[in-house]
Amino acid sequence: MGNPGSRSDLDADETSIVTPIIETLADAVPKIRTAFETHRAYEGEENPSGEEMLAADVYADELLESRLGDLDCVGTYASEERADPVDTGEGLSLAVDPLDGSSNLTSNNGVGTIVGIYDAELPATGRDLLGAIYVLYGPTTTAMVATEAGVTEYLVSDGDLDVLTEEVEINDEGAVYGFGGPVPEWSREFRRYAMSIQRRLKRRYGGALVGDVNQVLSYGGVFAYPELETRPEGKLRLQFEANPIAFIVEQAGGESFDGDSSVLETEAERLHQRTPLFVGSEEPMAQLIETLGGRARDPHVTTRDSPWE
């Protein structure tokens, strides 16, 4: 990443599409963060992916639906916590993971919020993303904002946004790795890859996608949640998690892979569809793609100009 800057507020030219969305999100963030203290109990209900919901999941989802759904530019609010999208009028489609890694609240580890901004009806492919944002509730609260213009990291404080890093760029070699899922359930090829990576990189895995990817963007490296014996489709949700994260990493100069091609090429069939996800620095990702087989993305292809269509 580059050096911290002193510029405050958003750069209107670079991020005009996402400006109302990121500003509204930033305004909601302190409320979500405060709710962690009082909304830690499980609700006794499951989300559409069959996971138990915490009170904080429900709180963040309802707050974001009312705030983001109210924006003139937003036509659809879809969430990992809801079976169906909410029609909010004409405009862009948002796919939101209101509280990514919420089970980390129990152990007081990092959690996040992810927003994919699609210029298409959902479910859509990653090539329909105009932008993607994640918020990381760590020791400080930060937001990574990606558009076609690039990636900017902000400090989110009292609802205000201050630039921390302009032009976030992932390094090519990498220093850390984080792989999800039980090792005995990984494929033989992925286990072979993991054996080789652990000789060179340092293991860092926290169990919240946003936190794990943020350290890969910070230090370089690779994050993977591969297909498992009992979950051949992987664990992470394509619309809400994999696509926005792949968009951010690719816009920062990294690679994404779903076991076949770039995650952004994955055909979207269902709103809550899952996918294997691999993202990271050029070098470890090239080795991964070679080991698992598949095709690397053409570096000359922009997010909205795909040769696979």
Binding-site residue numbers are 80, 97, 99-103, 205, 235, 241
What does DSSP say about strands 111-118 and 92-100: parallel, antiparallel, or unpaired? antiparallel
Given the rule CB under 6 A, which of 96-104, 128-136, 165-173, 286-294 is the region that contacts ligand AFP? 96-104
* Alpha-carbon span 93 to 29, nearest angstrom: 20
How far apart are CB 75 and ligand AFP at their closest, in Å?
Answer: 26
158-187 footprint of ligand AFP as x/- string (CB under 6 A): ----------------------xx------
The reply on whether position 208 binds ligand AFP by CB under 6 A is yes
The reply on whether position 282 binds ligand AFP by CB under 6 A is no
* Closer of 180 and 284 to ligand AFP (Cβ): 180
The reply on whether position 11 binds ligand AFP by CB under 6 A is no
Contact 111, 101 (CB under 8 A): yes
What is the distance between the terminal CA atoms of the chain, rounded to a whole angstrom? 32
The reply on whether position 101 binds ligand AFP by CB under 6 A is yes
The reply on whether position 207 binds ligand AFP by CB under 6 A is yes
The reply on whether position 103 binds ligand AFP by CB under 6 A is yes
Residue-level length of the chain: 309
Question: What is the CB neighbour count within 10 angstroms for residue 260?
Answer: 15
* Alpha-carbon span 59 to 28, nearest angstrom: 11
The reply on whether position 15 binds ligand AFP by CB under 6 A is no
* Alpha-carbon span 235 to 101, nearest angstrom: 12
* Closer of 214 and 262 to ligand AFP (Cβ): 214
The reply on whether position 115 binds ligand AFP by CB under 6 A is no
User: Known binding site for substrate: residues?
Assistant: 100-103, 205, 235
* Alpha-carbon span 164 to 177, nearest angstrom: 24
DSSP tag of 206: -
How far apart are CB 12 and ligand AFP at their closest, in Å?
Answer: 32
Cα Rg of the chain, angstroms: 18
- Alpha helices by DSSP H, listed for the chain, are 12-15, 19-38, 55-69, 188-197, 209-219, 243-251, 282-292
39-58 footprint of ligand AFP as x/- string (CB under 6 A): ------------x-------
Per CB under 6 A, residues contacting ligand AFP are 51, 100-103, 180-181, 207-209, 212, 225, 235-236
